[in-house]
Structures are given as C-alpha cells and as structure tokens.
C-alpha cells in the first residue's frame, strides 16, 4: 500500500524526457501525409460575404480546401458557440476561415495566398469596459454581455445584509485590481495528426489535456458516433491548461475525412502566440467594511471578465470565480456581482487555476489594505477572520477538516513573524 507514499520514485518517463527520445505529436509522420494550413481573418470584426477557393484548388499538390459549408456541425467548445470555420460575422483577428490540405507546407501556403475573400471590415471593440456600453459594436448578434440562466447580465451571490455590514464598520476600504491576458507559450505548439485506420475509424493523435472532452466535442462536429472516432493521447510538450481548448484537432480530422489521407496540422510559434486561447483579463472592484479590532463586517465585489469573442471556458471560469472571490476570510455580509463580456479578441481558455488565482490575488492585496487601514499586521487580520470548523463558506457549504488558522500560524513561524498570544493560541477547532 505504501510502496510510493513518502518515498523517492523514479519518474516513469523521465529517461525519455532527459535523453530526447520521447516522441511528441509534433514528431509524428505517416506515409502519404498531407499538411494543413489555414486562412485566418485579417480583421478583428468583419462581414464575410464570400470565400472563393477556385484558383487555390488549381495549385498542384492541393488535395482539399474546406470552408464552413464543409463542416457537418460548425460549432464546438465546452459551450458550443465557437465556429470551426468562420461564418458571416467574423469575431476576432486570426479566426479560421478556410483550411487547406496539401503535400507540403509550401504548397499549402501558396494555395492560401490564392483564396479570394469578399470581406468588409467592421468597427470592433477590444476593451471590456467599452464593450459593456450600449453603443459598442456587437461582438455577438445577441449582445456583448452574457445572460446567466438566459435572463440576467449579473451572476449574483448574496449573504446577509451588506449595507447593514457597511454601517457597522469603522472604516470603508476600496480597491480596484486588474489582471492581463497571458499566453501559455508551451515548448511544443498545438499539433494533431489524423488518419483513417483499416476499419475506417477516424484516429487523431492529439496533445489535448482533456481527451474524452475533446472526443465528445468533435464527434458532434464530425457527426460521427463515438465508436467511429478514436483519440490517441501522448506526451504533452507543454500544456498549462492551454490544451484543454481545441486548436488543431478539428481541422486535421475534417481534412482527413475529406481526402481519406493522413493530415497533420501543427501551429507555428507565431500562430500559437497570436491565435491560441489565453488566460483572459479580469477587473475586480472591492469594497470592504472593517472594525477597529480587525473584524470584517461586509464585502462587496464587482467583477468583469473579458472572455473574448466566444464563450469557450469563460463561463466555467466565471462560475468558479464567483464562488471563491470572497476569499479565505469569513464575511457575514457579502455581495458578489459578476459579469462576463464578449470582445473581439481570441477566446479565453484555461490556465493554471483559471478563474481562481486571479481573484485570490485581488482578495489578498485587499486584505493587506484592510490591515493597514486599522493598524494591524496583515496576518493578524487573516487570523482574526479565518474560517473555523463547521462554519459555512460564502455560498452556504459546510466546512469540515478546517486548518486555515494552523496553516497561517505555520507560515508566520516560517517567516519569523512573532504573533501576540491572542493569535498564537487560536485554533480552527
């Protein structure tokens, strides 16, 4: 039972990693393999009237070119509103419009250069605050703010009476915090290799971090039963959450179904940096009430999440954030107002605790401000307001096996922070 726990265990793939013998999806090749390249939108927002591929199809070595009309079901993602290939309204710069399968990268790029677009650039919005305003260009026909449960622009959490809590406070402390876009920059960029096996099953070698999520998603795109679609996961040459989103699997598979030949789609470093999903930007506005003795009486948080042009994983991030944004301090009077706005940027994806750690950054800086306002050490304010055993969290869930006070005390000891007896003797139990 305890062969591994508490012991040094050899990493099962360590030798392959350090010697360079490990095989990644980007290393794979097959006989008669075709290369995929895509034509992307040059505009942040545009009306796409027509795509003419007639001249591109004449390029020697081109086996197929697909547009939205060639996709059995042109929607994908966790919230399936993202277009596999662009429809009439283009929503972000770099959105895929057409995909080519050719005998080489050079031939595919030559074909891309010969595709003719009838396209009209439209006004766009990339600032999330501007996108919330009534006159902003519409990223989606239905509007720029997500409607939670189809009715409300705000995801609300309420606990106690926040105005009563503010009235009881000796100090009101406010703060606004922002986090930027962030690209994962994996060593191995997004890559896929698709082919049809001897039984006619579509096989995709993928570096997805969510194999069965991707399989289910793309079975819908291809309109194939799951027993006709096989995903092969291998070593991921860098993910960090970025490979939870689909960047290459969908088009490699579609072109294989179109041509009957193996197709590889491997993003360049430039494409990965510009067009793959990102950790998306957030704006947090905190308003806290605190007594002179350090008791937090009320907390109000207004949140704006910029999820880009499509929902992707943005809604999931907002739900996590709304439930955890109030932080690790006990607050009896709480109001959380979370909004998700669409902008003409690359859609948001997942990245290392997405939706959570961005909010905890804002919460922790705000708690330090509270401590300074009342002349206490920051760790004392945290200890004063810590959750204890059998407390309820901010959304009404009972807490068991709580050890926040013990953890804070250990941190204080490691940092050489001396605690007054009233804090040194505290317990989560």
Model pLDDT for residues 90-131, shown as the tens digit of each residue? 999 999 999 999 999 999 999 999 999 999 999 999 999 999
Same domain for 196 and 76, yes or no, is yes
Quote the number of domains for the chain: 2
Which 3 state secondary structure label does DSSP give 314? Answer: helix
Q: What gap in Å lies between CA 347 and CA 324, rounded to an integer?
A: 23
What DSSP string describes 220-284? HHHT--GGGEEEEE-B-S--TTGGGS-SSHHHHHHHHHHHSS-EEEE--HHHHHHHS-BBPPEEE
pLDDT digits (tens, 9 = 90+) for 291-349: 999 999 999 999 999 999 999 999 999 999 999 999 989 999 999 999 999 999 999 89
Q: Which of 259, 275, 291 is the endpoint of a domain?
A: 275
Q: Is the predicted pLDDT of residue 82 greater than 70, yes or no?
A: yes
User: Which pLDDT belongs to residue 388?
Assistant: 96
User: Which pLDDT belongs to residue 177?
Assistant: 98
Q: How many percent of the chain have pLDDT more than 90? A: 94
Q: What gap in Å lies between CA 411 and CA 4, rounded to an integer?
A: 28
The answer to the question of residue 2 being in a domain is no
Instruction: Report the DSSP beta bridge partners of residue 365.
Output: none
The answer to the question of residue 89 being in a domain is yes
Same domain for 271 and 391, yes or no, is no
- CA neighbours closer than 13 Å in the CB half-sphere of residue 58: 5
The answer to the question of residue 208 being in a domain is yes
Q: What is the CATH classification number for the domain harbouring 199? A: 3.90.1170.50
Q: Distance between terminal CA atoms of the chain?
A: 31
Tokens encoding 49: 């009237």
Q: Is the predicted pLDDT of residue 361 greater than 70, yes or no?
A: yes
Q: Which of 218, 251, 275 is the endpoint of a domain?
A: 275
For residue 41, the enclosing domain spans: 24-121+188-275
The answer to the question of residue 156 being in a domain is no
User: Which pLDDT belongs to residue 1?
Assistant: 58
Same domain for 201 and 78, yes or no, is yes
The answer to the question of residue 232 being in a domain is yes
Q: Which of 228, 255, 275 is the endpoint of a domain?
A: 275
Q: What gap in Å lies between CA 318 and CA 29, rounded to an integer?
A: 40
The answer to the question of residue 246 being in a domain is yes
The answer to the question of residue 84 being in a domain is yes
Same domain for 109 and 235, yes or no, is yes
User: Which pLDDT belongs to residue 11?
Assistant: 87
The answer to the question of residue 282 being in a domain is no
Query: Within 10 Å of residue 145's Cβ, how many Cβ atoms?
Result: 18
Same domain for 234 and 110, yes or no, is yes
User: Which pLDDT belongs to residue 4?
Assistant: 84
Which 3 state secondary structure label does DSSP give 402? Answer: coil
């Amino acid at each position: 039972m305890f062969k591994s726990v508490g012991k040094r265990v050899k990493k099962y793939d360590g030798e392959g990693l350090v010697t360079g013998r490990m095989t990644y999806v980007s290393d794979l090749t097959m006989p008669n393999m075709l290369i995929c390249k895509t034509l992307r939108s040059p505009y942040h927002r545009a009306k796409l009237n027509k795509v003419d591929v007639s001249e591109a199809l004449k390029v020697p070595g081109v086996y197929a070119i697909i547009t939205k009309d060639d996709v059995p079901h042109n929607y994908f993602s966790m919230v399936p509103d993202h277009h596999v290939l662009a429809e009439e309204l283009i929503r972000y710069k770099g959105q895929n419009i057409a995909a080519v399968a050719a005998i080489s990268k050079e031939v595919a790029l030559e074909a891309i250069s010969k595709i003719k677009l009838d396209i009209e650039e439209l006004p766009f919005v990339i600032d999330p605050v501007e996108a919330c305003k009534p006159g902003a260009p519409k990223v989606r026909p239905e509007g720029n703010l997500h409607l939670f449960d189809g009715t409300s622009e705000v995801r609300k959490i309420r606990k106690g009476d926040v105005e009563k809590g503010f009235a009881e406070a000796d100090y009101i402390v406010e703060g606004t915090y922002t986090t930027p876009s962030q690209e994962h920059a994996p060593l191995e960029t997004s890559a896929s290799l698709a082919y049809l096996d001897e039984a006619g099953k579509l096989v995709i070698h993928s570096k997805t971090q969510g194999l069965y999520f991707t399989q289910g998603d793309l079975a819908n795109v291809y309109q194939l039963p799951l027993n006709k679609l096989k995903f092969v996961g291998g070593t991921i040459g860098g993910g960090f959450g970025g490979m939870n989103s689909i960047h290459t699997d969908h088009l490699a598979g579609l072109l294989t179904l179109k041509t009957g030949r193996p197709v590889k789609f491997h993003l360049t470093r430039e494409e990965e940096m510009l067009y793959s999903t990102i950790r998306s930007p957030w704006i947090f506005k905190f308003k806290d009430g605190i007594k002179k003795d350090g008791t937090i009486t009320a907390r109000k948080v207004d949140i704006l999440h910029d999820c880009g042009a499509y929902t992707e994983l943005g809604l999931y991030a907002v739900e996590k954030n709304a439930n955890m944004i109030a932080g690790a301090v006990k607050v009896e009077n709480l109001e959380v107002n979370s909004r998700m706005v669409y902008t003409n940027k690359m859609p948001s994806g997942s990245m290392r605790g997405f939706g959570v750690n961005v909010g905890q950054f804002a919460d922790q800086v705000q708690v330090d401000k509270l401590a300074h306002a009342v002349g206490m050490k920051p760790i004392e304010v945290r200890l004063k307001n810590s959750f204890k055993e059998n407390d309820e969290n901010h959304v009404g869930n009972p807490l068991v096996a709580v050890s926040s006070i013990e953890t804070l005390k250990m941190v204080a000891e490691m940092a050489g922070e001396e605690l007054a007896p009233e804090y040194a003797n505290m317990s989560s139990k």
